[in-house]
Amino acid sequence: MNSKMKTGDWIILYAVTGFLDLAQVLIDLLPPAGEVINEGLDVVIGFCLAYYFQHKGVSMVKPGRIIGILITFIAEEATAASLPLWILDVAYTHFTVMTGNRRIKKMAGNTGNTVEASNTNEPLNNEGMRRPSLENRQPLNRGDMRSPQ
Which pTM value belongs to this model? 0.65
Q: Range of 24's domain?
A: 7-116
Query: Per residue in 112-129, pLDDT tens?
Result: 554 444 445 554 566 666
CB 41 within 8 A of CB 25: no
Within a domain: 96: yes
Calpha distance 83→6 (Å, rounded): 28
**Chain centroid to CA 115:** 23
Within a domain: 58: yes
Within a domain: 20: yes
Calpha distance 129→71 (Å, rounded): 36
Calpha distance 69→119 (Å, rounded): 43
pLDDT at 117: 44
Within a domain: 132: no
